[in-house]
Amino acid sequence: MPRQTYIAKRGEIKTVWRHVDAEGKTLGRLATEVATVLMGKHRPEYTPGVLSGDAVIVTNAAKVVLTGRKLDQKTRRRWSGYPGGLKVRSYRQEIESNPARLVSEAILRMVPKGRFGRSLHSRLRVFAGATHTHSSQEPIAIETPSAAHELPAERPVATEKAARTKSAPRRASTRTAK
């Protein structure tokens, strides 16, 4: 007896509001987790092309972390359409001026492009500070796994396995040169 695949309809799925605190989280890891929740891929009734995701509120966008030297080296470019109208700003300048835009663009660039992705844009709210205006929706706090990917304070000098491989003599190659 063949099984039938469940396909969700538009009115069957109830939207739940979720809240994510971006303080100390890496921008890319945060964006992938929020994009997954927006699209609904965390739900068992996920159906492509149907708005089965949750609405997401992101707070503390100003305290998001960029690893390495990306704050100064990575740039954001805008072009007005006129000759000489190219505006180039570093991510440090962008976070100082409008951190919510930087976080929301990172999230929305990870959802499908097109009609479906544009409809997900209305379900995302990003705030630079710790407070938000959607307390009446009673958002459920979700913990993103990016908090578990903290960078170590200092690198270990050498592990036990690395110490053994450095001291072991190198074996001669069994291949013959042609």
The per-residue pLDDT for range 60-114, each reduced to its tens digit, is 999 999 999 999 999 999 999 999 999 999 999 999 999 999 999 999 999 999 9
Residue 21 sits at φ, ψ, to 5 deg, of -95, 120
Please list the residues that pair with 88 across neighbouring strands. Answer: 77
Task: Write the pLDDT tens digit of every residue in 45-73.
Answer: 899 888 989 999 999 999 999 999 999 99
C-alpha separations of 160 from 52, 151, 156, 163, 164 in Å? 48, 21, 11, 5, 6
Amino acid at 40: G
Domains observed in the chain: 17-78+85-149 (3.90.1180.10)
| Lookup result for tokens 């890496």 | 26
Dihedral sign, Cα of residue 95, residue 101, residue 106, residue 109:
negative
Q: How far apart are CA 51 and CA 13, in angstroms?
A: 8
